[in-house]
Structure 1
Amino acid sequence: MPDVRGAFADAARAREQDLAQRLATAVEVDRVFVEALRGACRKAVWGRRRLDAIEVEISDVVARHGVRGLDTPAGARQFQAFLATKAREIHLVVDEVSADSTSRTGLLRALRYPTGDGVPLAPPIDTLGDERRWTDKDLYPHDPTAADVKQDSVGDCYLVATMGAIANANPQWIKDRIHFDDQTGTFGVTLWDGHEWKHIDVTQADIGTDIRHNGASWLDNGRPDAALWPAVLESAYAKLKYPGRDLADALGNDVGIGQGGYAKDAMEALTGNRGTVINPESVWFTNQHIDQAISGALADHQPVTISTTPQGTPLTQSHVYVVEGISGTGSDAVVTLRNPWETNAGTPIDTPEALVTVRLGDLIGSGLPGPLGTHPMSCVNIGSLG
């Protein structure tokens, strides 16, 4: 059919293009609106779980010590200090959820649907966050380190701490896991699925999903020039563990990798083996020397993480940390740990710094395995990069 020409035809085409643009913008605004609501819901669930965990800690202390333990002046002071720490944790959780809610409310109030008649489209499509094309130049502003990792809303400390430990031990190992295809814009990630090395494609859309879900990078924390590799690896791990699922679900705290897991499984996926797992509860009747195992591994450039029990104290309960150093020997050795939250505010140690030092003996605890003993540290995971 020959082209229709003339002023009326040109006007019709212009109106058609304008309508298509407004419809596309409306769809994008809808997506941003839905993602904002989902993000607020995820943050609220995270806050609820943190508050529930604090309640469990308080109940556990009361149950273990009972009223009699609080009758003495020393016991009462200790309990008051404990409650003061928990109160600070509660305030921090509430403040974080409130700040997230305020931020998302501002975003929703700024949304405008296109109305035509010369009214500017607001917000324009190219300001809604997914227009950036990520490349290999975004992966590593510098050699990978544990400081590139920032755990936010996804409950996968076991993964992100392991990623950080490997980055510290051998940055090239991280680089070798990821390859960028400039033609397709996808990042090819190689992970071990328990039987063989598997190639997993992480798309531009996947990266956007990870960032919107407050994933493992600093990119969702107001740092657009931060390293991209944590978001790529986290997305690939989620796709490995939940193949065929929507990435948003695979990252979730209800059905995805955010439900929690074990550092040894993350170590296996990233390195091809689970490494060595040391159970501190059995140290008292075995010949294991945790101080020597940790110092030897770090000297040999091997990744090391520690996981805590539900007791947790002096660290956060049921959490995983990167081991960055150790000095001294035996139970008096001092271990330097990095919290993948990149802060320890609101934790039993309560400092805004990411790094903390803890006496090894305080982590190992004392007594028999199980409820008859006190064991803040559940395991030490030492990788083997070959």
Structure 2
Amino acid sequence: MRTMFGADVEALTGLGSSFVESAETLETARRQVDGIVAAAGWVGPDAEEFRQDWSRRLAPALASCLGALRDNAEVLRRNAEDQARTSAADGGSGLDRGGAPGTGGGGDRSGDGGKDRPGNPDLSGHGPWVDVPPTIPLDDAALDPNMINQQGLGDCWLLAGLGAVARDDPQFIRDHMQLNADGTWTVTMYKDGDPVEITVEPEVAQDGVMDPSGNPSWASIYEKAAAEYWGGSYDDIDGGYSSDAFAAITGATPSQTGEGNLSDLKDRLADGPVALGTEDEPSWWPFGDEVDDARVVPNHAYIVDKVEERDGELKVHVINPWGPGAHLQNDGSDKVGDMWLTEKQYKENFDTVYAVPSTR
């Protein structure tokens, strides 16, 4: 039986669609009036006064209404997505932005987690266990975000946040991982800014993150610690937001905004780690934005590596937590491991920026 919390997703969807249709109708009317006013054979002081009133007051007021309708349609879209995820989490039908390899959606985790739990987390079908070698490389090359290979868990939101922190301050990661005498690892995470030590056994889920060669890595240890932190099961990290990953990893207060432009993104990257969320795949939502580039994974999180001028224009280099190289799909597309994007390509494919102050 479907359980509904808070709002009817279909009603929100219908209302948002009405807002968009109304905005389109109003935009058509505005253009028509603009053309009529410009073409009217009316001359004299009154005509000039009317045209100025139209161009300076009435037309901008209509444009403001258009913007308000579209902005509120976007608010309804996001609320419908959140509501669908909440209902789905309690057994109801709804939007699931998890998956394997995972995507960038999921519920709000800001009030969850923060505990060290005894023993191993539940594998939840992602096993068997794989032994971790006595030593794991923690040099800068090993901590490069290109060395993350997500595999079968839907935790790109976590790995994008983790990779972004490692890119910005690899020493922070080393300082927060301790190999103990009995072979266990203690990872220091944060709950509401306070440190929480998570001790994990030296074995990790086979379907979890590995290095590009398929071997357990520092990210495998962090991922297992996160599974304990957020509930005691690998399923507990299937779907989420990189802002929550940043808060748990660094203890600092993250931000979550729209995509903005590449100049803004460059400034964000200078201040600390940045991850991105991509737009949707074709779905039940009739007017949501969709990824435009066949190389981009929809509903997914990426690491921002660089924003710099190339070939005479500002571009962004993003890294897919799926790992380096080609990721050929059944539909023939290749979800590449990393890519440079122009501002136009960036805006066509990404809709969310997650950032956190640097730990340096």
- How big is each residue's C-alpha offset from its partner over 1:309-349, in whole Å with a ceiling of 9 and x where there is no partner? 212232211001111112239xx632111111124534799
| Matched position secondary structure for 1:179 | strand
Distance apart, 1:177 and its partner CA: 1.4
Matched, 1:233 2:222: yes
Corresponding residue to 1:358 among 319, 341, 345: 341
- Is this contact kept in 1: 2:277–2:300, CA < 8 A? yes
Distance apart, 1:351 and its partner CA: 4.3
Tell me: CA distance 1:156–1:199, structure 2 relative to 1, closer, same or farther (3 Å): same
Distance apart, 1:150 and its partner CA: 0.6
Distance apart, 1:350 and its partner CA: 4.1
In 1: Cα distance, 2:163 partner to 2:345 partner? 24
- Is this contact kept in 2: 1:143–1:171, CA < 8 A? no
- Is this contact kept in 1: 2:262–2:315, CA < 8 A? no
Q: Which has the higher contact order (CA 8 A, sep 6+)?
A: 2
In 1: Cα distance, 2:336 partner to 2:250 partner? 29
In 2: Cα distance, 1:361 partner to 1:237 partner? 35
In 1: Cα distance, 2:240 partner to 2:133 partner? 29
Which residue of the partner structure matches residue 25 of structure 2?
none
In 1: Cα distance, 2:251 partner to 2:222 partner? 15
Which residue of the partner structure matches residue 325 of structure 1?
306
- Is this contact kept in 2: 1:265–1:274, CA < 8 A? no
In 1: Cα distance, 2:266 partner to 2:332 partner? 23
In 2: Cα distance, 1:143 partner to 1:230 partner? 10
Tell me: CA distance 1:195–1:352, structure 2 relative to 1, closer, same or farther (3 Å): closer
- Is this contact kept in 2: 1:144–1:168, CA < 8 A? yes
Tell me: CA distance 1:203–1:139, structure 2 relative to 1, closer, same or farther (3 Å): farther
Matched, 1:336 2:317: yes
Corresponding residue to 1:298 among 259, 269, 285: 269
Which residue of the partner structure matches residue 55 of structure 1?
none
Matched, 1:191 2:161: no
Matched, 1:169 2:168: yes
Distance apart, 1:131 and its partner CA: 8.7
- Is this contact kept in 2: 1:336–1:357, CA < 8 A? yes
| Matched position secondary structure for 2:199 | strand
Which residue of the partner structure matches residue 108 of structure 1?
none
- Is this contact kept in 1: 2:224–2:234, CA < 8 A? yes
- Is this contact kept in 1: 2:193–2:247, CA < 8 A? no
Mark the runs of 5 or more structure 2 residues left unpaired by the alignment.
1-100, 102-127, 281-289
Matched, 1:316 2:297: yes
Which residue of the partner structure matches residue 209 of structure 2?
216
- How big is each residue's C-alpha offset from its partner over 1:281-317, in whole Å with a ceiling of 9 and x where there is no partner? xx5xxxxxx32332234345x2111101212232211
Mark the runs of 5 or more structure 1 residues left unpaired by the alignment.
1-95, 97-128, 284-289, 366-375
In 2: Cα distance, 1:352 partner to 1:292 partner? 26
In 1: Cα distance, 2:226 partner to 2:130 partner? 24
Distance apart, 1:359 and its partner CA: 1.7
Distance apart, 1:273 and its partner CA: 2.3
**More off after superposition, 142-151 vs 157-166:** 142-151
State the AA in 1 paired with 2:317. T
With normalisation by structure 2, the TM-score equals 0.54
- Is this contact kept in 1: 2:144–2:166, CA < 8 A? yes
Which residue of the partner structure matches residue 277 of structure 1?
256
- How big is each residue's C-alpha offset from its partner over 1:204-257, in whole Å with a ceiling of 9 and x where there is no partner? 2xx23x2x2x21112xx6544x6x210100000111000xx3xxxx113xxx21
In 2: Cα distance, 1:328 partner to 1:278 partner? 23
Tell me: CA distance 1:147–1:222, structure 2 relative to 1, closer, same or farther (3 Å): closer
Which residue of the partner structure matches residue 199 of structure 2?
201
State the AA in 1 paired with 2:320. N
- Is this contact kept in 2: 1:148–1:230, CA < 8 A? no
In 2: Cα distance, 1:261 partner to 1:131 partner? 25
Tell me: CA distance 1:279–1:215, structure 2 relative to 1, closer, same or farther (3 Å): same
| Matched position secondary structure for 1:138 | coil
